[in-house]
Structure 1
Amino acid sequence: MKRALIITYYWPPAGGPGVQRWLQFVRYFNDFGIEPVVFVPENPHYPLQDASFEALVPETTEILKFPVKEPYRLAGFLSKKKTKQISSGIISNKEQSVLEKTMLYVRGNFFIPDARVGWVKPSVAFLKNYISEHPVETIITSGPPHSLHLIGMELQKAFQLKWIADFRDPWTTIHYHKSLRLTKASEKKHKDLEKKVLNTADAIVVTSPTTKKEFSLLTSKPIHVITNGYVASEEMHPVLDTQFSMAHIGSLLSERNPKVLWKVLSEIASETPSFQNNLEIVLAGTISDEVFESISKFGLKDNCKHLGYVSHDEALKLQHNSQVLLLIEIDSPETRAILPGKIFEYLAAFRPILAVGPKGSDIEGILTETKSGVFYNPSEEKELKKQILQWYEAYLDGTLSVASEGVEAYSRRELTRKMAALIKQV
């Protein structure tokens, strides 16, 4: 067995996609000769929680915890709603209040690379003591928050250990980075830290081909693409929705509002008599006010069902029972690298996937490779409308389905096999 110290911020009872990547690796590591030791904050600020994930942590896994000082807790006294939104990544397109502008400025310029940077020094001291008494062979840091990579850098230097930096999302090219109201000096600090991490780690892991291309311009270190994935389940017994349900699982941020989709659905409803009665838009997760406003504007309010945040188990049922699964990404060059965790669970549901996002998105590559759905840019309105009408006709005939291929390569177990091989190789 090779002992690997995994440093991650998100861990059960955290909810949402951020926690699932390393939870699932840890779950299967022992099968592939890796003994994981997990280091997480003792008192974290999780905007979303899902207690069902706690049952997935293997009983034999050693979990180390150390307190973290959370700036978001202090900011919450000023504005709990805004604090929760910003810490969740929801930054409104509308005119921002003085308070919101101030919070973003402070977040971007006083906490570099992020609001958890205060956890770095005490964590390094704690882990130095631990490693001295309980040696490990490899350190793995997972970001965001990217400040955790600074912990890995210090431990690598102190013990000459192998260090793998795992990027679930990009750093300075992530879509919300420009919204942090950074000064030129702060922007430079972010980029300098990013480059230092990329050139100091022994290996880099990313979740998308585009991120690999971007990082390869900054470092000559080996970069490996290991995507997120899905958990194979034999317990699912799908019962397809009787209505023409189009379900989106997960947060819909303001900038991710698919106005072209609502417009097309509205047009079809006015042109096809039965469509308005059969259509059901299912939204599960945190939804911004702008999205609801758009849905109402296009006359679809009565067709929309908002479930709020649902547990992971409930999300899986929704995915398997829906007629069509919606995958929406911000139409921006900065989001081409994003492969949301839900795309892989969508694949495992074997339902048609309708994705809308930027040209050149890695999402399109996955859907094309697996023949699991279609991808459109918002400019392709006519093609989008034609596709929905085709699927609606198939729904009426009872033949709406998808013939996916090669989905098994994205199972969590297969991806863990790949990650374990990398850990042994580095």
Structure 2
Amino acid sequence: MEKEGRKNSALNGSTTEIDPQNERKINMKNALIISYSFPPLNDIAARRFGEMSPFMPDYGLRPWIISTNSVGDLPVQVPEAQCIRIGLHPQRSMQIEDRDINANTFKMPVAFKVSRKIAKFLGLGFRSFDRTVVTWYPLIKKQTEMIVASIPKPDVIIGSFGPAASLWAARYLASFYNVPWVADFRDLGALHWKGRGKLSREIDLLIENRLLASASGLMTVGDVLANALEKKYKKRCCKVYNGWVRNSSQESPVENKEGEKYIYYAGRIYLHRMNSFFLLLDALKDAQTIHLKIRSLGPKLMEEKLLEYAQSIGLEKRLELLEPTDQLTVQKEAEMATMNLVVEDLNTSDPYSAGTLTGKFLQLLAFTPPVLSITRTDSEMSGILKETNKGKVCSGLKQVIEFISACLNDPERYQGNQSISKYSKLEQAKIMCSFFNQIISRTP
């Protein structure tokens, strides 16, 4: 088993042999992070710990990672010798359709495939017990001996949801090592109710409640979700925003020499956010001097819907749909934009969607252009944008038109203030590590 683990480590570019005995002598606590997504994969899930873990040693914690093998252009800022990669991530790039299922090593048992079909037919869907619990989680358990041989004993273990396997693996390894563990929710698990029946949610909540019973604490990405999790599970939930980090385009700003005025969006296009895009396109009928530029990650069907709507109102020439590109190009295009766009669901029926902070939102605070956020009025983004003077949440046509006009007439109006610094990944890592250190100190 150990030999197999070392072989996998070498294949991942790790040439440094780790001596657990020597590592234990260093006066620093060890935090084991289990995240299905991690750099080089470049998506929001990978960035959460991929961009915060490098700051952890500054606060007394050395990060160790269990993740999948993946591809992408996001820099791996933790030494590969501190990463254990098990299995393949099914996503070959940031594009939503670009998934190579044949390359995936996760094989679902036949019985589980059948039960999934039955559950789907009955309208049952469990976020706390998804396919990764019977695919990736067993692979981690199978590699326990290799994990023990490769890293020092952790002082705390963190499982980052989703998918659910990260939580199951964190609970298992915490029991194995007899150390505390923390459940990190980038999105709600069983509490997520949209598109599911009452029976499905209730069963899911029972599973998740049992799963989290042994957790020493919870962590999530904002106030609304933290309050919901604390209320449901009666455990302290630490709020750690995804945060922003400076990038090369900000170190050497790129001038928009052509003076092109555009609203910029880079990311996936989701059906439940489509009305926000439609609202913006309607507003552009009034704002004649600016267009919408989208670096789309798919899916194609949503791109077609967006283009069809633009054509129906005569704005197809002012909607620019671009292919995915590298991270540096996206950063430069965002820096040169007239304003950067964030879209979320306008529907207020979901009690938790007010707390949805799309991963790119806080990163946009660090760019020069203001942020136009089209979402529900009571969104948590509204308070952050007011505090930082970096933009505005708009929920209606008149608001969007007025915001675009204000930015065009007075580019310095939403230039931001010093409060932006508190949302950096460095500051968020400090909050996170303080939480972990408190849990470690309370453990006998």
TM-score (structure 2 length as normaliser) = 0.77
User: Is contact 2:191–2:205 with CA below 8 Å preserved after alignment?
Assistant: no
The answer on 1:37 being equivalent to 2:64 is yes
- Which stretch shows the higher mean deviation, 309-318 or 161-170? 309-318
Query: What is the aligned counterpart of 1:297 among 304, 308, 312?
Result: 312
Counterpart residue number, 2:219: 205
The answer on 1:361 being equivalent to 2:361 is no
Counterpart residue number, 1:245: 262
Name the SS of the counterpart of 2:346 in structure 1: coil
Written as runs of structure 1 = structure 2, the 5 A alignment for 1:16-415 is 16-42=43-69, 50-51=72-73, 53-54=74-75, 56-59=76-79, 61-67=81-87, 105=120, 109=125, 113-118=129-134, 119-127=136-144, 130-131=147-148, 134-174=152-192, 178-179=194-195, 186-233=200-247, 235-240=251-256, 242-257=259-274, 258=276, 259-266=278-285, 268-269=286-287, 275=288, 278-287=289-298, 288=302, 289-332=304-347, 333=350, 334-377=352-395, 380-394=396-410, 402-415=415-428
- Cα drift, residue 6 of structure 1: 0.9
- Cα drift, residue 41 of structure 1: 2.2
Change in Cα spacing, 1:305 to 1:299, as seen in structure 2 (3 Å) is same
Report the AA paired with residue 403 of structure 1.
Answer: G
Name the SS of the counterpart of 2:356 in structure 1: coil
Name the SS of the counterpart of 2:65 in structure 1: strand
- Cα drift, residue 105 of structure 1: 2.6
CA RMSD of aligned residues (A): 3.0
Q: What whole-Å deviation, never above 9, does each CA across 1:375-422 have from its counterpart, x for those lacking one?
A: 122xx3223222222323336xxx665233311112222222222222
User: Is contact 1:323–1:400 with CA below 8 Å preserved after alignment?
Assistant: no
Distance, in Å, in 1 between the alignment partners of 2:97 and 2:342 is 26
Report the AA paired with residue 265 of structure 2.
Answer: H
Change in Cα spacing, 1:360 to 1:63, as seen in structure 2 (3 Å) is same
User: Is contact 2:377–2:393 with CA below 8 Å preserved after alignment?
Assistant: no
Name the SS of the counterpart of 1:359 in structure 2: coil
Change in Cα spacing, 1:130 to 1:82, as seen in structure 2 (3 Å) is closer
Change in Cα spacing, 1:104 to 1:310, as seen in structure 2 (3 Å) is farther
Report the AA paired with residue 237 of structure 2.
Answer: I
- Cα drift, residue 291 of structure 1: 2.0
User: Is contact 2:63–2:82 with CA below 8 Å preserved after alignment?
Assistant: yes
Distance, in Å, in 2 between the alignment partners of 1:189 and 1:417 is 36
User: Is contact 2:283–2:401 with CA below 8 Å preserved after alignment?
Assistant: yes
Name the SS of the counterpart of 1:165 in structure 2: strand
Change in Cα spacing, 1:68 to 1:15, as seen in structure 2 (3 Å) is closer
- Cα drift, residue 356 of structure 1: 0.9
Report the AA paired with residue 280 of structure 2.
Answer: L
TM-score (structure 1 length as normaliser) = 0.80
Distance, in Å, in 2 between the alignment partners of 1:202 and 1:168 is 18
Report the AA paired with residue 408 of structure 2.
Answer: Y
- Cα drift, residue 109 of structure 1: 4.0
- Cα drift, residue 59 of structure 1: 2.9
- Which stretch shows the higher mean deviation, 288-297 or 362-371? 288-297
Counterpart residue number, 2:22: none
Query: What is the aligned counterpart of 2:42 among 15, 18, 24?
Result: 15
Change in Cα spacing, 1:184 to 1:284, as seen in structure 2 (3 Å) is same
Name the SS of the counterpart of 1:121 in structure 2: helix
Change in Cα spacing, 1:357 to 1:183, as seen in structure 2 (3 Å) is closer
Distance, in Å, in 2 between the alignment partners of 1:184 and 1:83 is 32
Distance, in Å, in 1 between the alignment partners of 2:236 and 2:128 is 26
User: Is contact 2:126–2:204 with CA below 8 Å preserved after alignment?
Assistant: no
Q: What whole-Å deviation, never above 9, does each CA across 1:191-243 have from its counterpart, x for those lacking one?
A: 11222344321011110100011112212211100000111245231324612
Distance, in Å, in 1 between the alignment partners of 2:371 and 2:124 is 35
Q: Which sections of structure 2, spanning at least 5 residues, go unmatched?
A: 1-27, 101-115, 440-444
Name the SS of the counterpart of 1:392 in structure 2: helix
Distance, in Å, in 2 between the alignment partners of 1:212 and 1:33 is 25
Change in Cα spacing, 1:26 to 1:390, as seen in structure 2 (3 Å) is closer
Counterpart residue number, 1:76: none
Name the SS of the counterpart of 1:218 in structure 2: helix
User: Is contact 2:125–2:200 with CA below 8 Å preserved after alignment?
Assistant: yes
Distance, in Å, in 1 between the alignment partners of 2:322 and 2:282 is 22
Counterpart residue number, 1:98: none
User: Is contact 1:40–1:65 with CA below 8 Å preserved after alignment?
Assistant: yes
Q: What whole-Å deviation, never above 9, does each CA across 1:111-162 have from its counterpart, x for those lacking one?
A: 8522311222331342366337742111111111123101112222233211
- Cα drift, residue 338 of structure 1: 1.1
Change in Cα spacing, 1:292 to 1:404, as seen in structure 2 (3 Å) is farther
Change in Cα spacing, 1:188 to 1:410, as seen in structure 2 (3 Å) is same
User: Is contact 2:183–2:219 with CA below 8 Å preserved after alignment?
Assistant: yes
User: Is contact 1:327–1:356 with CA below 8 Å preserved after alignment?
Assistant: yes
Name the SS of the counterpart of 2:376 in structure 1: coil
Name the SS of the counterpart of 2:131 in structure 1: coil
Report the AA paired with residue 50 of structure 1.
Answer: G
Distance, in Å, in 2 between the alignment partners of 1:279 and 1:236 is 25
Name the SS of the counterpart of 2:322 in structure 1: strand
Counterpart residue number, 1:87: none
